[in-house]
Amino acid sequence: MAKRNSGNPNTPERVTGDAPSQLERHQDPGLPPHRPRLADKDPKAANRAEKQVSILFIVSIIGTLVFFIGYFGVDISNDVEALRLQNMLLGLGTAFAMLGIGTGIVHWAKTLMPDHEVVESRKPITKEADRADAERIVGDILDESGIKRRPLIRNTLLGAMVLAPLPAIAIFRDLGPLPGDKLSHTMWDEGVRLTLDPSGTPIRAADVTIGSAVHVIPEGLKEAEHKLEEKAKAVVLLMRLNPEDLDPSEGREDWGYEGIVAYSKICTHVGCPVALYEQQTHHLLCPCHQSTFDLTQECKVIFGPAVRPLPQLPITVNSEGYLVAQSDFHEPVGPSYWERG
């Protein structure tokens, strides 16, 4: 009669008694019996597979080159279309570089590498003989992989693997140099008209209704050199509130016009565009990490990781009723994570 099981997984009866033991019940099923593949039997099929693997590695090499063409060959300083083209080339290049290596190795393993089961018992490496053994095993693995016999695969794999990490190095280059005082100067200056983004139409104060939020760029941006860079620094959000909802601090009383105020759209956390305006609460929200800025308190941070209010652009109206800047921002725009000097 079989022993009764106490139910405790640590008691010995779980693995003793008449019932089959855990080991018996969970035998390693091993690999299915070896079935020779086409490439094992036919040298032509093996050559074909070798070429296919090499083509996949070449696809990876081409992908990396496409990345570099996009990164270094496309001038993005003035053209949004060029920026889109660059993003597409970077994405496609990286995808094909990784995909080519991955699928090439999988195809190589499935068609050409030996698929028999190998068991290696492990023991501490202590003696010279063990080391020599280990070296011999590594040599055997290299022999079995066919990398020595198949120079086409070896050369294309080496090419793909040397090139594939280079895009990462190129991208790290973008982390520097530090901007210095570049973020302290934008296209805004005394008398520069506020215009709609992207049309460039000047904005009359009378056309801005209470509760509205408008995306604004400086007049003349379209003709500027390094247009995209200038836009990234100068873009602002324009809102109109009831003047009594605003409580300007000393020295800022005349930075707005009849409840119309303008703030940098570049989040002071890590620089995403602050694009959401909650009309009822007068909050501006950054969609990236949810920093929230209170418009009634000069865009003070009331929630989220940003530590600095959005810089305010002092504005007024000119003799024709158009909104114009009084000056540039009084502080650097953008993220606060580097030395701002």
Please give the Cα distance from 120 to 140 (Å, whole number).
13
Nearest distance, CB of residue 181 and ligand FES, angstroms? 22
Please give the Cα distance from 112 to 107 (Å, whole number).
8
| 163-182 positions binding ligand FES, by CB under 6 A | none
Please give the Cα distance from 282 to 238 (Å, whole number).
12
* Binding segment (CB under 6 A) for ligand FES, from list 101-109, 146-154, 237-245, 281-289: 281-289
Nearest distance, CB of residue 240 and ligand FES, angstroms? 24
Looking at beta carbons only, is 243 or 271 nearer to ligand FES? 271
Nearest distance, CB of residue 260 and ligand FES, angstroms? 24
Sign of CA dihedral 33, 38, 40, 41: positive
| 297-336 positions binding ligand FES, by CB under 6 A | 304-306
User: Judged by CB under 6 A, which of 3, 136, 289, 300 binds ligand FES?
Assistant: 289
Give yes or no for residue 288 binding ligand FES (CB under 6 A): yes
Looking at beta carbons only, is 54 or 292 nearer to ligand FES? 292
Give yes or no for residue 272 binding ligand FES (CB under 6 A): yes
Q: How does DSSP classify residue 269? A: T
User: CA 213, 217, 219: angle at the middle one, nearest 5?
Assistant: 130
DSSP bridge partners of 194: 218
Q: Where are the alpha helices (DSSP H) in the chain?
A: 22-25, 38-41, 43-73, 80-111, 128-145, 151-163, 166-173, 227-234
Please give the Cα distance from 295 to 244 (Å, whole number).
12
Strand 315-317 and strand 276-278: the pairing is: unpaired
User: Judged by CB under 6 A, which of 187, 194, 286, 323 binds ligand FES?
Assistant: 286
Three-state secondary-structure class, residue 260: strand
**Neighbouring C-beta atoms of residue 7, cutoff 10 Å:** 8
Nearest distance, CB of residue 249 and ligand FES, angstroms? 23
Helix 151-163 × helix 43-73 angle, to 10°:
20
Please give the Cα distance from 117 to 96 (Å, whole number).
32
Give yes or no for residue 275 binding ligand FES (CB under 6 A): no
Nearest distance, CB of residue 282 and ligand FES, angstroms? 18
Looking at beta carbons only, is 152 or 272 nearer to ligand FES? 272
Looking at beta carbons only, is 153 or 306 nearer to ligand FES? 306
User: Judged by CB under 6 A, which of 105, 262, 267, 333 binds ligand FES?
Assistant: 267
Looking at beta carbons only, is 248 or 305 nearer to ligand FES? 305
Nearest distance, CB of residue 289 and ligand FES, angstroms? 3
The alpha-carbon radius of gyration of the chain (Å, integer) is 33
Give yes or no for residue 240 binding ligand FES (CB under 6 A): no
Nearest distance, CB of residue 274 and ligand FES, angstroms? 7
Nearest distance, CB of residue 276 and ligand FES, angstroms? 11
Give yes or no for residue 266 binding ligand FES (CB under 6 A): no
Nearest distance, CB of residue 22 and ligand FES, angstroms? 52
Please give the Cα distance from 167 to 125 (Å, whole number).
39
User: Judged by CB under 6 A, which of 269, 282, 299, 328 binds ligand FES?
Assistant: 269
> In sequence order, what are the residues at sequence separation of 6 or more whose Cβ sits closer than 8 angstroms to the Cβ of residue 19?
2
Provide the binding-site residues for ligand FES, judged by CB under 6 A.
Answer: 267, 269-272, 286, 288-289, 291, 304-306
